[in-house]
Amino acid sequence: MPVMRPALLNPLFAPVSGLKGVGSKLGKLLTRLLRPAAADGQEARLVDLLYHLPSGLVDRSRRVTIASLPPEGIVTLEVTVGRHRAPPRGRNMPYRVEVFDGTGFMTLIYFKVFGDHVEKLLPEGERRFISGTVSWYDDLPQMAHPDYVVTAEAFAQLPMMEPVYPLMAGVPARLLAKAARAAVERLPELAEWQDAAWLARQQWPGFATALRLLHLPDTAAVLEASSPPRQRLAYDELLATQLALLLVRNRMKREAGRSLRGAGDIRTRLVAALPYHLTGAQTRSLSEILHDMADPSRMIRLLQGDVGAGKTVVALLALAAAVEAGAQGALMVPTEILARQHFASLTPLAAKAGLRLALLTGREKGRARDDTLTALAAGEIDILIGTHALFQEGVAFRDLGLAVIDEQHRFGVHQRLALQQKAGAAVDLLVMTATPIPRTLALTVYGDMDVSKLDEKPPGRQPIATRVLPLSRMDEVVTGLARAMRDGQRVYWVCPLVAESEQVDMAAAEQRFAALTQDFPGMVGLVHGRLRGAEKDAVMARFKAGEITLLVATTVIEVGVDVPEATIMVVENAERFGLAQLHQLRGRVGRGAASSSCLLLYQEPLGETARARLSILRESEDGFRIAEEDLRLRGAGEMLGTQQAGLPVLRLADLSVHGELLAAAHDDAALIMARDPQLATARGQALRVLLYLFEREEGLRFLGAG
């Protein structure tokens, strides 16, 4: 059933260009500002404008005289208009108007004057109030293009407090403020969705009032993240997010699951074939997973474990249990490289235990693909490993019992929801992530998914020596690498993805490849996202086999790549990466018994925050600590690159400030779901509106019409 937005909200989802004073030109600019990454190419809408909150306030109430003008800033003063000095005809010079008060003179400056605009605005001898930014030239005060030039009557009508918005070049501040004011006027009356007692206790305003207070602020305090209207809106957004997660989860939980209980024979053989003992954390997590699988309700469990914690073998054993119970398993990973790597490393192990594995990615085509699909439908394949191609049309299992999604943070939230749907009704679900998501963020992504943690690394891992160096010391780095490579060490060299242009990024990686090839002829390989699959495989295989010893790469190797012989990781322009991402990259080394190192090369000059961030990596290898620190330094939105982390975009809530509200919103959502799972009560109806307002309506698809 399609979900239909209530008509009442339609005005808020109309394009901004329909607002008074916003034409198509400003509309385009606003779209770039407010919906930069909109995949749908849709124009910015009123809600986008409304959720773009002012970051500060211009206080025009600060009245000064010319003699007391400050060195800079916005001022308001009452003056008498003096002489006009128009530039000589045809000369490209500014138009000047002298003004004065009892204390001195100043000059108003206009570039590009059309017609008699300025003459009308500033009739000689009249008194005017002017407001704008003061500047100084040769000790003489000036004001270029005052924001306001008005008469005393008009001055009385002016907003003395004018909001300032986080801006994008090209969008005039006053137009943005005006557009936001116009949007506020279109806010419909909406029934309150928050619990009345809670609202009263918090002393929060209503939704529309909060937006009005923020877009028409009368004190700077109201704009602070901790102010009642900001908290109110943050809470609305967090509640919508939590509710949406619970709706989806409840729906999945309601679907009948099945009990998958194996005899243990395949697992026994697998464990016997492992060259190591499972860690305590692996054993514990596995038994939590097996317990859920044996339970007749559906499993939805997250296995969280830092890079290198050994999630893969836990997944394999869980999949084996599903096979023992007569069902099939699927292991889905985000990249082709990872799919092939898992397939290659698990196949020998599986063979010893009598498990039949197969691989399916976008690259398997024609006969081979048909054969795999036929075998899958006939139940002749026990475990299918692959990319999202696993859940594409035409892929039918005989009896899928357990689906494992590896490195789930690489899949967007929507993608994940879609996959969970596709995996089918009675399928148990295990998602695995290495992204160390701080507790506060974990709630926004997973709601209350059950979690198993691998909080212990396999024994014998050597610490990774991490160094932070400026790019200007490249020569030294190359000399050091030469020595290490002579000793047989293998090196990753990662070039940054700047995301703006893949073309440019590739060029940078190719250039680095060319330069390093000069230094190390015949020993360097290159892999990036544009290579065809087979080419990628060939390069990875040669690196794994030691035929090449230095691998230049983009972040395609970030996730899951396992070449235990590699011991050195160089990251170029490390300051451009998220800390979590750097931690992932670093996790590519330190996988074998030899000691490893990581060189983070940065572009000078390095800002203070950037320096602090990089030094966290030098000090810690604990992914959770790194993530918490990163969150503290940068705020949630930026932390992992929202897109990449599969985090929902939060527009009003800032988890570094509103983190505590998240826990409350989570409990609130759980209570709502317990009391009114169909959102059928009056409050339930209002909550549906809230979900639409924050575009979290996907969860409503599972409910009856309201």
Residues lying near Mg ion in the complex (CB under 5 A) are found at 560
| Binding segment (CB under 6 A) for ligand ADP, from list 131-139, 237-245, 275-283, 639-647 | 275-283
Of residues 146 and 310, the one with the C-beta less far from ligand ADP:
310
Residue 118: φ, ψ to 5°: -70, -35
Of residues 334 and 560, the one with the C-beta less far from Mg ion:
560
Choosing from 458, 635, 677, 706, the residue that interacts with ligand ADP (CB under 6 A) is: 458
Q: Are 589 and 492 in contact (CB under 8 A)?
A: yes
CB of 52 to ligand ADP, least distance (A): 39
Of residues 308 and 659, the one with the C-beta less far from ligand ADP:
308
Q: What is the 3-state secondary structure (H, E, C) of 41-56?
A: CCCCEHHHHHCCCCCE
Which 8-state DSSP code applies to residue 63?
B
Give the number of C-alpha atoms closer than 13 A to the C-alpha of residue 697, restricted to the C-beta side: 18
Choosing from 146, 217, 305, 648, the residue that interacts with ligand ADP (CB under 6 A) is: 305
Angle value at C-alpha 198, between 194 and 202, nearest 5 degrees: 110
| Binding segment (CB under 6 A) for ligand ADP, from list 38-46, 234-242, 304-312, 688-696 | 304-312
Please give the Cα distance from 329 to 475 (Å, whole number): 50
Q: Which does 205 bind (CB under 5 to 8 A by kind): Mg ion, ligand ADP, none?
A: none
CB of 198 to Mg ion, least distance (A): 42
Of residues 536 and 591, the one with the C-beta less far from ligand ADP:
591
| Binding segment (CB under 6 A) for ligand ADP, from list 151-159, 307-315, 651-659, 676-684 | 307-315
Of residues 249 and 588, the one with the C-beta less far from ligand ADP:
588
658 binds ligand ADP (CB under 6 A): no
Of residues 249 and 311, the one with the C-beta less far from ligand ADP:
311
User: Residue 609 CA to chain centroid, in angstroms?
Assistant: 19
CB of 591 to ligand ADP, least distance (A): 5
Of residues 207 and 411, the one with the C-beta less far from ligand ADP:
411
- Judged on CB neighbours under 10 Å (0-12, 13-18, 19+), 180 is buried
**Tokens standing for residue 24:** 């198509």
Three-state SS for 347? helix
Q: Which does 329 bind (CB under 5 to 8 A by kind): Mg ion, ligand ADP, none?
A: none
CB of 571 to ligand ADP, least distance (A): 18
- Secondary structure element (H or E) that encloses residue 155, with its range: helix 152-157
CB of 432 to ligand ADP, least distance (A): 7
278 binds ligand ADP (CB under 6 A): yes
Residue 325: φ, ψ to 5°: -80, 5
Of residues 280 and 296, the one with the C-beta less far from ligand ADP:
280
Q: Which residues contact 6 (CB under 8 A, 6 or more apart)?
A: 688, 689, 692
- Secondary structure element (H or E) that encloses residue 303, with its range: strand 300-305
Three-state SS for 470? strand
Concatenated DSSP letters for 499-523? SS-HHHHHHHHHHHHHHHHHHSTTS
**Tokens standing for residue 370:** 């048909």
Choosing from 54, 94, 132, 310, the residue that interacts with ligand ADP (CB under 6 A) is: 310
Of residues 94 and 310, the one with the C-beta less far from ligand ADP:
310
User: Residue 178 CA to chain centroid, in angstroms?
Assistant: 30
CB of 407 to Mg ion, least distance (A): 6
Going through 419-481 in order, the beta strands assigned E by DSSP cover: 428-433, 450-454, 464-470
Q: Which residue type, as a one-letter code, is found at position 107?
A: T
For the packed helices 502-519 and 474-486, what is the interaxial angle rounded to 10 degrees? Answer: 60
CB of 585 to ligand ADP, least distance (A): 12
How many residues form the binding site for ligand ADP (CB under 6 A)?
19
Please give the Cα distance from 441 to 437 (Å, whole number): 6
Interaction with ligand ADP in 559-618: which residues (CB under 6 A)? 560, 562, 564, 591
Give the number of C-alpha atoms closer than 13 A to the C-alpha of residue 240, restricted to the C-beta side: 26
| Binding segment (CB under 6 A) for ligand ADP, from list 65-73, 124-132, 273-281, 510-518 | 273-281
- Secondary structure element (H or E) that encloses residue 337, with its range: helix 336-353
Q: Which does 279 bind (CB under 5 to 8 A by kind): Mg ion, ligand ADP, none?
A: ligand ADP
Of residues 188 and 280, the one with the C-beta less far from ligand ADP:
280
The residue at minimum Cβ distance from ligand ADP is 310
Of residues 241 and 279, the one with the C-beta less far from ligand ADP:
279
64 binds ligand ADP (CB under 6 A): no
**Paired residues of 150 in beta bridges:** 129
Choosing from 311, 583, 658, 696, the residue that interacts with ligand ADP (CB under 6 A) is: 311
Choosing from 58, 333, 434, 661, the residue that interacts with ligand ADP (CB under 6 A) is: 434
Residues that bind ligand ADP (CB under 6 A): 276-279, 282, 305, 307-313, 434, 458, 560, 562, 564, 591
